[in-house]
Amino acid sequence: MTTYVGTCHCGAVEFEIQCDLETPIRCNCSLCIRRGAVMHYVESENFRLVRGEQALVPYEFGHKTGTHYFCGKCGVFPFFHSRWQGESTYGVNTGCLQGVNPYKLSAELIDGASYY
């Protein structure tokens, strides 16, 4: 497993994840289709917010089983916390990970639109 450091654009929010970037995804729900992020899910124990909790702005919609976070200073979406079907995971924006080019990742499309 590799440790990746992620930040928003201005650096106010920083997080770390431990994973292998084997299964990045794109989602077609109404929010994800607008933001266009290539995301990667990690288990809660493999996610750590290093700094910037006070800079995060939460957003929920639909079933409210996921909280999407944006940096209140630069507006970038670094991650969301999902509580779908009782499981706690984080979906991180791979574009925020240092040394990762999301355009070079082969992402699977998930049908998030059908969840609502």
User: What domains does the chain contain, in order, with CATH numbers?
Assistant: 2-115 (2.170.150.70)
DSSP characters over 8-61: -SSSS-EEEEEE-----EEE-STTHHHH---EEEEEGGGEEEEE-GGGEEEE--
DSSP tag of 44: G
pLDDT digits (tens, 9 = 90+) for 80-97: 999 887 889 999 999 999
pTM (global) more than 0.75: yes
pLDDT digits (tens, 9 = 90+) for 50-84: 999 999 999 998 888 889 999 999 999 999 999 88
pLDDT digits (tens, 9 = 90+) for 4-26: 999 999 999 999 999 999 889 99
- Determine how many CB atoms are found less than 10 A away from the CB of residue 16: 16
Length of the chain: 116
The amino acid at 70: F
The amino acid at 40: H
Task: Please list, in sequence order, all residues whose beta carbon lies within 8 angstroms of the beta carbon of residue 35, skipping any fewer than 6 positions away.
Answer: 77
